[in-house]
């Protein structure tokens, strides 16, 4: 007690380096705890010693607004795994503190009564012998309870720790603050949100990580740093947050309440710059948005022959061994293929037409097309659009390659990145949602994050924000700048020049190069080029994805959750969640301005819409449940994760289907009624607008029209899907087993004509490029899929020496994938390779089912050998798995379809790629099946070339630099036993190929990787 009193009075310092944990001990500076240690435990430090330890460190930040007497306990546990039910605690660390300083610490190992896995020991350094003599959790619970007392708990993902203690019988009712959640709110630009990264970004240097006391103390320091950041927020924003959070039970509400309380109580509502500007009317509600510099007045893109001429030889000279690139970029390597590509692209831009150019890995194709594009755009005064499949590549080009070129090219040029509307924040909708009073705690959390982020973002681009859960995504989807609800010129944010989307488009209009992704390119095509400014030439990178991207862009799908969400936004009655809704807003806005008769009609309409919305919700629920039951009844389709059932005329004549049609007819009547009433409500708003100039009315009119249009689309598309076949569409029903929900889909059957019509026929020049454009010896497969009638075709080999660097090993005694023991053999091969190379292996599967089975078979042996398996589908995102794979040693990565491309691990961290099976599409997948029907020999003409493209992508994961070396193991015997198998091998660069016994694979892999040619 004395220690605590002295520290509180003395405003004790923060922990600089907390005590190390030693075996089997409770460490506490609390004399009560010191005295109450169970007999037999070793006390590591006396209270005085520990106190000395705490005296070091820096002064704590001043935290206004936090009740000074409030005591917190930062808590962290180390455990044997992630499941509170199945796993056990092995170490506990706690730091008791106030904002003024540390009061006490508590640390102990815990005997889990079971062995600690290698991975956990690897992660934490805690071994079985460390915990063997430690107390059990049961004996520690009274001490833990006593230490925590009534304090507020603080921790990173604190729910995890609380749930472990609860599973052990300690049900804590204390308030808790999750630093992960708080960081997401007040530090929206963090690169990552794990404890170590956040601590580093806040200038906190942890003593160690993945140890309980150290992590608890890092969480304490992070908490204080985050509080300080929260205190810096504008008072008006804090007041908005408190109003939104009122009565919602949002766990972080207390922090913002106390900050506001302290400011107003002190009589010094400390005016930040933002507050002062807001008071003067110079700042928008959304913070710094109005402070952004005006978008430069849009400069015309006009010819500038005085700056540069379109001289192809001059461009080639830049890439020569003594050229400008070699002078400016350390480590630059001259690659003849890159110059050949530049020349082909430049000639196409100059002469017009279509170029298909395949450039193997390592060619440096981005610069090979950016340089001629910049020369062309500036000299001719014509925009060039560059389209990528992924936003990642789009960002990489815009953030790295373009600035590099702008720095070194002998003339200035402008470039802009433009994304789809849903990537940008709509300020008008943010303002509307901010007025809401009926948000759930999760929605408040998501909205507060976006509000705070809106203070500092210059782009309003969602890529800057982490949206980890479904509520975040749902709130974003409401707040994004979707077209149905955009007021364009009528919007006040548009008029003030603060609309993010508008600003991005203005920047694009004034740029020579515009970097987009395929979905925006196609959205532009779908609306007759109304999204992008006029452009002359197009370069499509990652062009092998264009057919899928076009298909996706022109697809439709609807599910029960989508309907629920729409109804929730309309009525604010989404099963007790959601904000007040558009209907409420319409009544509040219109009724004061209407004559009594019209007001009565408004109230009647409003009640009818609310009633119909409920009926539509129930009818849709019954319909989708029946669809799910129908699909399960028909479950003769393959597909091991989700069930996809193609809806054909043969299916539509089944008796059970007629019941579904009847249900839909009834639902459609309700939707018609809802739609008509929304239209009438919209008319009333238009009439009111003609009489009165009410603020918010144009937005309301647009929103109502958007909602009516939504229901119109649902009605027409679902009617078409359920009742009749259309010439160029394929329809299907999909069930996600884990969610047990059905969804209806339709997609275009052929997209080539549309690509030709909108992308090819209207441009002076179009370049398609990728590392994989050929599905055999020529470009015919992709040319036909993309509707390319005539093109110059160039294939450039990779500059890498594959024969010297890459061994392709094909076991000769593998069973075929359909035969017994195939999976057992796959597991044997993985085990041998992983043991021989100590991990460093990427295993590519074609299905989750196969991946999980292999994991079960090979997991225990690799675990025993200390090799970690990172597997897709274990809860971590693709990015997290890749990051972990790159950073860890002794690791194997298991992935399915999305891992066959886009993985770029340079160096020995990836020394082997195992292709478990040739990546044929599932023949019953609806779009694939429907497209197959157009071929005489679907397997040879469609399945094989489609799989070869994917196979080449998978192969391409291995060698990413001149110095890489490794093995590709192909475990699908069909490459040897089938005639078409040879086509797969022939599609690869010339490597060293060996056939041999399965049991030799590990030895040979180690030999190859270990040797140097
Ligand atoms: S112009 Fe459209 S996207 Fe921009 S703020 Fe207004 S409504 Fe939102």
Reported as a single tens digit per residue, the pLDDT across 838-854 is 999 999 999 988 999 99
Distance separating alpha carbons of residues 374 and 362, to the nearest angstrom:
22
pLDDT at 22 over 50: no
Q: What is the largest CA-CA distance in the chain?
A: 91
* Distance from residue 684's CA to the centre of ligand 1 (Å): 23
Ligand 1 nearest atom to the CA of residue 427, by list position? 5
* Distance from residue 526's CA to the centre of ligand 1 (Å): 21
| Inter-helix orientation angle 235-245/253-265, to 10° | 130
Distance separating alpha carbons of residues 9 and 4, to the nearest angstrom:
9
Ligand 1 nearest atom to the CA of residue 502, by list position? 4
Q: How confident is the model at residue 33 (pLDDT cuts 50, 70, 90)?
A: very low
Mean pLDDT within 94-118 = 92
Mean pLDDT within 460-476 = 84
Q: Provide the sign of the torsion angle of the four alpha carbons 846, 852, 856, 860, taken in this order.
A: positive
**What is the DSSP code string of 244-274?**
HHTTTT-TTHHHHHHHHHHHHHTT-----HH
Q: Which of 450, 461, 481, 489 to mutate to test the pocket of ligand 1 (most atoms within 8 A of CB)?
A: 481
Using CA positions, which residue lies closest to atom 2 of ligand 1? 486
Distance separating alpha carbons of residues 485 and 582, to the nearest angstrom:
12
pLDDT at 18 over 80: no
Confidence (pLDDT) at 44? 27
Q: How confident is the model at residue 420 (pLDDT cuts 50, 70, 90)?
A: confident
Tell me the average pLDDT of the chain: 85
Distance separating alpha carbons of residues 227 and 231, to the nearest angstrom:
6
pLDDT at 295 over 70: no
How many residues are present in the chain? 1013
Mean pLDDT within 612-618 = 95
| Inter-helix orientation angle 560-571/581-590, to 10° | 20
486 close to ligand 1 (CB < 6 Angstrom): yes
* Distance from residue 48's CA to the centre of ligand 1 (Å): 62
Confidence (pLDDT) at 62? 41
Distance separating alpha carbons of residues 524 and 420, to the nearest angstrom:
9
pLDDT at 907 over 80: yes
Using CA positions, which residue lies closest to atom 6 of ligand 1? 491
Distance separating alpha carbons of residues 922 and 904, to the nearest angstrom:
27
* Distance from residue 476's CA to the centre of ligand 1 (Å): 14
Of 2-16, 578-592, 611-625, minimum mean pLDDT range? 2-16
275 vs 908, residue with greater confidence? 908
Across the beta sheet with 72-79, what order do the strands follow? 27-28, 101-109, 89-98, 72-79, 152-155, 176-178
Q: How confident is the model at residue 573 (pLDDT cuts 50, 70, 90)?
A: low
* Distance from residue 426's CA to the centre of ligand 1 (Å): 5
Of 388-402, 763-777, 825-839, minimum mean pLDDT range? 388-402
**Percent of the chain scoring above 70 in pLDDT:** 87
* Distance from residue 428's CA to the centre of ligand 1 (Å): 6
Q: How confident is the model at residue 936 (pLDDT cuts 50, 70, 90)?
A: very high
Distance separating alpha carbons of residues 555 and 559, to the nearest angstrom:
14
Mean pLDDT within 472-483 = 86
Structure tokens at 873: 């589908």
**CA nearest 251: which of 184, 161, 176, 186?**
176
1005 close to ligand 1 (CB < 6 Angstrom): no
- Return the C-alpha torsion angle 279, 281, 282, 283, nearest 10: 70
Distance separating alpha carbons of residues 848 and 897, to the nearest angstrom:
9
Structure tokens at 127: 């071994």
Helix, strand, or coil (residue 819): coil
479 close to ligand 1 (CB < 6 Angstrom): no
Distance separating alpha carbons of residues 771 and 362, to the nearest angstrom:
9
Distance separating alpha carbons of residues 786 and 750, to the nearest angstrom:
9
- Are β-strands 729-736 and 806-811 bridged in parallel, bridged antiparallel, or unpaired? unpaired
**CA nearest 624: which of 509, 760, 721?**
721
**CA nearest 775: which of 942, 650, 608, 888?**
942
Q: Which of 494, 496, 701 to mutate to test the pocket of ligand 1 (most atoms within 8 A of CB)?
A: 494
Distance separating alpha carbons of residues 646 and 637, to the nearest angstrom:
9
SS (H, E, C) 930-949: HHHCCCCCHHHHHHHHHHHH
478 close to ligand 1 (CB < 6 Angstrom): no
Of 165-174, 457-466, 673-682, 846-855, minimum mean pLDDT range? 457-466
pLDDT at 651 over 60: yes
Q: Which of 418, 499, 700 to mutate to test the pocket of ligand 1 (most atoms within 8 A of CB)?
A: 499
> Where do the domains of the chain lie, and which CATH numbers do they carry?
2-232 (3.30.420.10), 234-283 (no CATH), 302-414+515-554+765-798 (3.40.50.300), 420-510 (no CATH), 580-748 (no CATH), 802-1010 (3.40.50.300)
Ligand 1 nearest atom to the CA of residue 485, by list position? 7
Confidence (pLDDT) at 687? 87
501 close to ligand 1 (CB < 6 Angstrom): yes
* Distance from residue 582's CA to the centre of ligand 1 (Å): 17
Reported as a single tens digit per residue, the pLDDT across 142-167 is 999 999 999 999 999 999 999 999 99
* Distance from residue 520's CA to the centre of ligand 1 (Å): 18
**CA nearest 361: which of 887, 904, 999?**
904
Q: How confident is the model at residue 740 (pLDDT cuts 50, 70, 90)?
A: low
Distance separating alpha carbons of residues 117 and 415, to the nearest angstrom:
52
Residue 969 near residue 1001 (C-beta atoms within 8 A): yes
Quickly tell me which residue has 């439709």 as its tokens.
Answer: 556
Residue 707 near residue 570 (C-beta atoms within 8 A): yes
264-269: long-range contacts at Cβ-Cβ below 8 A with a sequence spacing of 24 or more?
266/64, 269/235
Of these ranges, 110-124, 180-194, 344-358, 465-479, the one predicted with the greatest mean pLDDT is 344-358
481 close to ligand 1 (CB < 6 Angstrom): yes
Measure Cα distances from 877 to 248, 794, 872 in Å: 30, 37, 8
Residue 99 near residue 7 (C-beta atoms within 8 A): no
Q: How confident is the model at residue 530 (pLDDT cuts 50, 70, 90)?
A: confident
427 close to ligand 1 (CB < 6 Angstrom): yes
pLDDT at 313 over 80: yes
265 vs 718, residue with greater confidence? 718
494 close to ligand 1 (CB < 6 Angstrom): yes
Q: Which of 289, 482, 488 to mutate to test the pocket of ligand 1 (most atoms within 8 A of CB)?
A: 488
Using CA positions, which residue lies closest to atom 1 of ligand 1? 488
Confidence (pLDDT) at 928? 95
**CA nearest 569: which of 557, 585, 580, 558?**
580
Distance separating alpha carbons of residues 794 and 347, to the nearest angstrom:
12
Reported as a single tens digit per residue, the pLDDT across 318-377 is 999 999 999 998 889 899 999 999 999 999 999 999 999 999 999 999 999 999 999 999
Confidence (pLDDT) at 582? 87
**What is the DSSP code string of 15-46?**
PSSPPPP-TT--EES-HHHHHHPPTTPPPSS-
Quickly tell me which residue has 């409500």 as its tokens.
Answer: 681
Ligand 1 nearest atom to the CA of residue 424, by list position? 3
Reported as a single tens digit per residue, the pLDDT across 133-144 is 999 999 999 999
Reported as a single tens digit per residue, the pLDDT across 881-897 is 888 898 888 999 999 98
Distance separating alpha carbons of residues 627 and 540, to the nearest angstrom:
39
Ligand 1 nearest atom to the CA of residue 500, by list position? 4
Mean pLDDT within 749-765 = 91
* Distance from residue 259's CA to the centre of ligand 1 (Å): 32
Distance separating alpha carbons of residues 964 and 1009, to the nearest angstrom:
10
Ligand 1 nearest atom to the CA of residue 494, by list position? 1
Q: How confident is the model at residue 55 (pLDDT cuts 50, 70, 90)?
A: very low
Distance separating alpha carbons of residues 729 and 207, to the nearest angstrom:
60
Of 142-156, 195-209, 817-831, 857-871, minimum mean pLDDT range? 195-209
Confidence (pLDDT) at 272? 54
186 close to ligand 1 (CB < 6 Angstrom): no
22-26: long-range contacts at Cβ-Cβ below 8 A with a sequence spacing of 24 or more?
23/109, 23/129, 23/130, 23/131, 23/133, 23/134, 24/108, 24/109, 24/130, 24/131, 24/132, 24/133, 24/134, 24/135, 25/107, 25/108, 25/109, 25/134, 26/106, 26/107, 26/108, 26/135, 26/140, 26/143
Q: Is residue 261 annotated as a catalytic residue, yes or no?
A: no
Of 378-392, 624-638, 711-725, minimum mean pLDDT range? 624-638
Q: How confident is the model at residue 20 (pLDDT cuts 50, 70, 90)?
A: very low
**CA nearest 808: which of 597, 952, 651, 667?**
952
746 vs 687, residue with greater confidence? 746
Mean pLDDT within 614-633 = 92
537 close to ligand 1 (CB < 6 Angstrom): no
* Distance from residue 593's CA to the centre of ligand 1 (Å): 26
433 close to ligand 1 (CB < 6 Angstrom): no
Task: Spell out the alpha helix ranges (H) of 86-234.
Answer: 118-124, 128-131, 137-148, 158-167, 179-186, 195-201, 212-231
Ligand 1 nearest atom to the CA of residue 421, by list position? 3
SS (H, E, C) 159-180: HHHHHHHHHCCCCCCCCEEEHH
Confidence (pLDDT) at 593? 83
Residue 75 near residue 94 (C-beta atoms within 8 A): yes
Q: How confident is the model at residue 275 (pLDDT cuts 50, 70, 90)?
A: low
Reported as a single tens digit per residue, the pLDDT across 374-388 is 999 999 999 999 999
* Distance from residue 493's CA to the centre of ligand 1 (Å): 6
Structure tokens at 440: 């759930």
430 close to ligand 1 (CB < 6 Angstrom): no
Q: How confident is the model at residue 52 (pLDDT cuts 50, 70, 90)?
A: very low
189 vs 641, residue with greater confidence? 189
Of 492-496, 836-840, 1003-1007, minimum mean pLDDT range? 492-496
Mean pLDDT within 82-109 = 92
Confidence (pLDDT) at 43? 27
Confidence (pLDDT) at 242? 92
Q: How confident is the model at residue 119 (pLDDT cuts 50, 70, 90)?
A: low
Distance separating alpha carbons of residues 828 and 854, to the nearest angstrom:
9
pLDDT at 45 over 70: no
Catalytic entry in 210, 544, 584, 764: 210
Distance separating alpha carbons of residues 13 and 51, to the nearest angstrom:
11
Quickly tell me which residue has 């004395």 as its tokens.
Answer: 2
Half-sphere exposure for 352 (CA within 13 Å, toward CB): 6
Using CA positions, which residue lies closest to atom 8 of ligand 1? 426
Residue 136 near residue 110 (C-beta atoms within 8 A): yes
Confidence (pLDDT) at 34? 32
Q: How confident is the model at residue 868 (pLDDT cuts 50, 70, 90)?
A: confident
Mean pLDDT within 273-278 = 51
Mean pLDDT within 214-227 = 94
487 close to ligand 1 (CB < 6 Angstrom): yes
Mean pLDDT within 533-559 = 94
């Amino acid at each position: 007690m004395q220690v605590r009193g002295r520290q509180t009075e003395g405003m004790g310092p923060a922990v600089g380096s907390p005590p190390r944990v030693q075996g089997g001990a409770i460490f506490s500076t609390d004399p009560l705890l010191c005295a109450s240690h169970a007999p037999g435990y070793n006390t590591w430090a006396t209270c005085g010693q520990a106190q000395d330890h705490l005296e070091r460190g820096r002064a704590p930040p001043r935290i206004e607004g936090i009740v000074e007497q409030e005591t917190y306990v930062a808590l962290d546990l180390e455990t044997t795994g992630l499941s509170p039910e199945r796993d056990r605690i092995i170490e506990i660390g706690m730091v008791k503190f106030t904002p003024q300083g540390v009061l006490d610490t508590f640390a102990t190992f815990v005997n889990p009564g079971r062995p600690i896995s290698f991975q956990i020991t690897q992660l934490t350094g805690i071994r079985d012998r460390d915990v063997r003599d430690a107390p059990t959790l049961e004996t520690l619970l009274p001490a833990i309870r006593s230490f925590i007392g009534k304090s507020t708990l603080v921790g990173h993902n604190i729910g995890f720790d609380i749930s472990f203690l609860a599973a052990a019988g300690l049900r804590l009712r204390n308030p808790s603050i999750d630093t992960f959640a708080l960081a997401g709110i007040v530090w929206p630009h963090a690169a990552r949100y794990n404890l170590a990264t956040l601590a580093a970004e806040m200038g906190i240097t942890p003593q160690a990580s993945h140890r309980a006391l150290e992590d608890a103390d890092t969480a304490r320091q992070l908490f204080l740093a985050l509080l300080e950041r929260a205190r810096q927020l504008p008072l008006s924003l804090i007041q908005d947050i408190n109003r939104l959070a009122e009565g919602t039970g949002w766990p972080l509400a207390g922090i913002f309440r106390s900050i506001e309380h302290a400011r107003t109580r002190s009589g010094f509502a400390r005016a930040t710059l933002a507050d002062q500007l807001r008071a003067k009317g110079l700042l928008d509600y959304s913070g710094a948005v109005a402070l952004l510099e005006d978008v430069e007045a849009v400069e015309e893109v006009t010819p500038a022959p005085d700056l540069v001429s379109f001289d192809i030889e001059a461009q080639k000279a830049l890439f020569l061994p003594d050229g400008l690139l070699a002078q400016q970029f350390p480590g630059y390597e001259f690659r003849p293929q890159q110059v050949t590509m530049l020349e082909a692209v430049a000639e196409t831009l100059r002469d017009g037409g279509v170029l298909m150019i395949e450039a193997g890995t390592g060619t440096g194709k981005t610069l090979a097309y950016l340089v001629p594009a910049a020369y062309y755009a500036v000299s001719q005064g014509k925009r060039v659009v560059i389209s990528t499949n992924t936003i990642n590549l789009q960002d990489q080009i815009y953030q790295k390659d373009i600035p590099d070129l702008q720095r070194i090219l002998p003339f200035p040029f402008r470039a802009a990145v433009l994304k789809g509307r849903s990537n940008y924040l709509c300020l008008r909708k943010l303002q509307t949602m901010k007025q809401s009073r009926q948000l759930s705690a999760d929605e408040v959390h998501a909205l507060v994050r976006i509000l705070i982020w809106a203070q500092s973002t210059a782009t309003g681009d969602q890529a800057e924000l982490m949206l980890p859960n479904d509520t975040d995504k749902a709130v974003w989807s409401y707040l994004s700048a979707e077209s149905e609800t955009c007021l364009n010129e009528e919007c006040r944010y548009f008029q003030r020049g603060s609309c993010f989307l508008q600003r991005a488009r203005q920047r694009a209009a004034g740029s020579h190069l515009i970097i987009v992704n395929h979905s925006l390119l196609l959205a532009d095509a779908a609306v007759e080029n109304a999204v992008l400014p006029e452009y002359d030439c197009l370069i499509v990178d990652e062009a092998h994805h264009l057919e899928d991207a076009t298909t996706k862009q022109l697809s439709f799908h609807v599910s029960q959750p989508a309907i629920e969400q729409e109804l929730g936004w309309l009525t604010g009655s989404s099963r007790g969640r959601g904000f007040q809704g558009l209907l409420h807003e319409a009544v509040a806005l219109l009724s004061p301005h209407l004559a009594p008769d019209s007001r009565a009609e408004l109230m009647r309409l409003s009640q009818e819409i609310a009633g119909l919305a409920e009926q539509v919700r129930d009818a849709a629920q019954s319909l989708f449940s029946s669809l799910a039951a129908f699909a399960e009844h028909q479950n003769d389709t393959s597909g091991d994760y989700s069930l996809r059932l193609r809806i054909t005329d043969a299916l539509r004549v089944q008796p059970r289907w007629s019941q579904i049609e009847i249900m839909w007819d009834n639902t459609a009547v309700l939707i018609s009624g809802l739609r008509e009433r929304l239209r009438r409500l919209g008319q009333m708003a238009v009439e009111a607008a003609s009489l009165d100039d009410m603020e918010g009315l144009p937005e309301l009119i647009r929103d109502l029209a958007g909602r009516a249009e939504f229901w119109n689309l649902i009605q027409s598309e679902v009617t078409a899907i359920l009742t009749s076949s259309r010439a160029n569409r394929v329809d299907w029903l999909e069930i996600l087993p884990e969610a047990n929900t059905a969804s209806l889909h339709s997609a275009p059957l052929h997209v080539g004509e549309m690509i030709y019509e909108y992308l090819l026929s209207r441009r002076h020049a179009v370049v398609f490029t990728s590392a994989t454009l050929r599905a055999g010896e020529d470009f015919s497969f992709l040319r036909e899929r993309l509707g390319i009638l005539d093109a110059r075709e160039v294939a450039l080999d990779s500059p890498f020496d594959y024969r010297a660097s890459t061994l392709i090993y094909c076991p000769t005694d593998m069973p075929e994938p359909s035969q017994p023991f195939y999976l057992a053999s796959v597991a044997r091969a993985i085990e041998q390779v992983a043991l021989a190379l100590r991990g460093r292996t990427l295993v590519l599967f074609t299905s989750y089912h196969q991946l999980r089975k292999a994991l079960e078979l090979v997991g225990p042996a690799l675990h025993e050998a200390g090799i970690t398996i990172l597997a897709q589908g274990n809860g971590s995102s693709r990015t997290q798995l890749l990051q972990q794979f790159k950073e860890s040693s002794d690791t194997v990565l298991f992935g399915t379809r999305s891992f066959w491309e886009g993985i770029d691990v340079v160096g020995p961290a990836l020394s082997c790629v195992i292709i478990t099976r040739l990546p044929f599409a599932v023949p019953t997948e609806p779009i694939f099946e429907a497209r197959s029907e157009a071929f005489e020999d679907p397997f040879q003409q469609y399945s094989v070339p489609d799989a070869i493209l994917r196979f080449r992508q998978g192969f391409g994961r291995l060698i990413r630099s001149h110095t890489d070396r490794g093995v590709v193991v192909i475990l699908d015997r069909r490459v040897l036993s089938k005639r078409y198998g040879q086509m797969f091998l022939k599609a690869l660069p010339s490597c060293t190929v060996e056939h041999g016994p399965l049991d030799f694979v590990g030895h040979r892999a180690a030999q190859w990787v270990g040797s140097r040619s």
